[in-house]
Amino acid sequence: MSDRSERDQKPEAASRCELGKSTRRTFISRLGMAGLLATTARVTTAFGQSSVKEQSALAESKDAIPVTLTVNGKKHDLRIDPRTTLLDCLREHLHLTGSKKGCDHGQCGACTVHINGRRVNSCLCFAAMQEGNEITTIEGIGQPENMHAMQAAFVATDAYQCGYCTSGQIMSGVALLKEPCGPEDADVKEFMSGNICRCGAYQNIVAAIQNVRKKSG
Amino acid sequence: MRIFALNHTTDPAQAVATASKAKTAQQGAEIRFIGGGTTLIDLMKLNVEQPQTLIDINRLPLDKIEALPDGGLTIGAVARNSDLAFHPLVRKNYAVLSEAILSGATAQLRNMATTAGNLLQRTRCMYFRDTAHACNKREPGTGCSAIGGHNRTLAILGTSKDCIASNPSDQNVALTALEATIQVQGARGKRSIPIHEFYLKPGATPNRENVLEPGDLIVSVTLPAPVAGARSHYLKLRDRAAYEFALASAAIVVKVNDGRIEHARVALGGVGTVPWRSHEAERELQGHAANAATFRRAAEAALKEAQPASENGFKVELAKRCMVRALTVATQSA
């Protein structure tokens, strides 16, 4: 039998928060890190303060390899563990946290991004295999002050509740516009079947996508 | 996940040379080709697969889908499932393949998954996927947790006392009905393998799923020219209307002339340990009237040898009705 503990081995792609500057995200990630450190009784850190221990815990993987990724039109020279998925790379190395981790097995669609204009599950790609590809995330298709038509349509039709699946839904919706999807709501539902919404906002998601399709075409 | 070395190559011969150093090309292979990664990365996260070396084959010049001089089609190993399903020649001449691919997975996964990767898609048997359980496919000799366990979704045809894992693919059921040939480049040169000789039933070695040897690289899949006047159809029955594996599916290629069946190819999915070609059904169809009674006789013949486990007895009747319905639809449109 396999050693069960093997399952818990993860690439050491731990987040590098901007030290000393607290946001909700950095606070939560430090809270998690502090909890981890406290339970292993190695060291205690005060929030909002960088510590040597914390930095060493976030050190680069000994197996790291150089990778150049093009994300939202910008080139990034990185050193990452080859096990790092594109999703983890985007979130933990490039701090593009719009793409979400749901199931981490290609079943929920929360991690959907575009590679060369086509939608994929970023949790099932290794980042180190993406050199030369154009990667687009939710951050790359629009910003709060300049939203993509699909983002605006999701707002207009109230196509979300908790919002966790939303960036993946929008990335799928944007990609769908260029795919041979039939005109009916049923066609959109089938094409959107790779994006799960636990809140059940499906009706409004379909409405948002159909509204954009009608306007654009 | 275990650490691995990642190799990139643009030369099939180099990929073959590197991979031929492995001890096996089957379960547990220490060197793996990686295409879309939708199965492999999933299984690596579960520690079901722990390759030490990955050879990225996405840069190999093997992504073309092209007509052949004999009227057939060649499909590159790394052609994406979505490109294959929506290809005009596939939609026109091999509708069953397009329907099968589009009935599986999701738009995202189909954009990633490759033709060859889909050929090598692994079972969804939960005991295979969970290293806490005994599984003869994952770890030979440990036993089968599915026999007597939760086996509602598993196989009823081609099973053995050591394994009842079902083959999950839709694409491969259609390719079986279309009598595809798998083109392989290996350490000792190139060879062509008819799809019905490619997959191995579990027998006493469920860890061996196909005839591939270390170094063998699938370079393409070829389809024969479509049979003039034949129609094809893929019907998939599952627990949800979308994004679910088949409980039973049927791929049909059939030609009817003056009410009689002139040509019939039948393959079943969701019920076999391998994509299941039914010569028994084809014999019952060939030369007979295209009607409900003939279809039912064919379905009875196809499932005659079925051996259900404790929870999947319903699949026997479900598969029969699936085949009858698929034949009805395929001949109605003729």
Helices (H), chain B: 12-19, 40-45, 81-85, 88-93, 95-102, 107-112, 115-119, 126-129, 171-177, 195-198, 279-285, 292-302, 314-332
B251 SS3 class: strand
pLDDT at A106 over 80: yes
User: CATH says A65-141 is which class?
Assistant: alpha beta
| Chain B CB contacts of A106 below 8 Å | 38, 42, 108-109
User: What pLDDT, in 10s, does the model give residues B160-191?
Assistant: 999 999 999 999 999 999 999 999 999 999 99
Q: Where do the structural domains in chain A lie, given as residue ranges?
A: 18-57, 65-141, 149-216
Beta bridge partners of A112: A121
B169 SS3 class: coil
A216 vs A153: CA distance, rounded Å:
12
The bridge status of strand B31-34 relative to strand B53-56 is: parallel
Integer CA distances (angstroms), A192 to A35, A112, A174, in order: 38, 11, 11
CATH of B231-332 given 3.40.50.10470, 3.30.390.50, 3.30.1330.60, 3.10.580.10: 3.30.390.50
pLDDT at A14 over 50: no
pLDDT at A24 over 90: no
Residues of chain A with pLDDT > 70, as a percent, come to: 72
Integer CA distances (angstroms), A44 to A19, A35, A41, A52, A53, in order: 16, 9, 8, 11, 9
Least CB–CB distance from B108: residue in A6, A82, A109: A109
Mention every residue, 6+ apart, whose C-beta is less than 8 A from residue A40.
Answer: none
Shortest distance, CA A182 to any CA of chain B (angstroms): 13
Query: Please, which residues 7-26 of chain B have a Cβ atom closer than 8 Å to chain A?
Result: 8
DSSP assigned state of A85: B
DSSP assigned state of A107: S
| Chain B CB contacts of A195 below 8 Å | 106
User: What pLDDT, in 10s, does the model give residues B82-108?
Assistant: 999 999 999 999 999 999 999 999 999
CATH of A149-216 given 1.10.150.120, 3.40.109.10, 3.40.50.300, 1.20.1640.10: 1.10.150.120
ipTM score for this prediction? 0.96
* 3-state percent breakdown (helix, strand, coil) of chain B, nearest 5: 30, 25, 50
User: What pLDDT, in 10s, does the model give residues B299-314?
Assistant: 999 999 999 999 999 9
A42 vs A28: CA distance, rounded Å:
20
Mean pLDDT over the full length of chain B: 97
Residue A41 phi/psi, 5-degree rounding, is: 55, 35
Identity of the amino acid at A47: F
| Chain A CB contacts of B36 below 8 Å | 124
User: What pLDDT, in 10s, does the model give residues B182-219?
Assistant: 999 999 999 999 999 999 999 999 999 999 999 999 99
Integer CA distances (angstroms), B90 to A27, B67, B83, B253, B277, in order: 53, 10, 10, 14, 21
pLDDT at position A216, please?
Answer: 85
Residue B6, judged by CB atoms within 10 A of its CB (0-12, 13-18, 19+), counts as middle
Residues of chain B with pLDDT > 90, as a percent, come to: 99
**Torsion, CA A11, CA A16, CA A22, CA A25, rounded to 10:** -30
pLDDT at B48 over 60: yes
Query: Residue written as tokens 């063998």?
Result: B216
Q: Do A176 and B1 touch (CB under 8 A)?
A: no
pTM metric for this prediction: 0.90
pLDDT at position A90, please?
Answer: 98
Contact, B270 vs B251, CB < 8 A? no
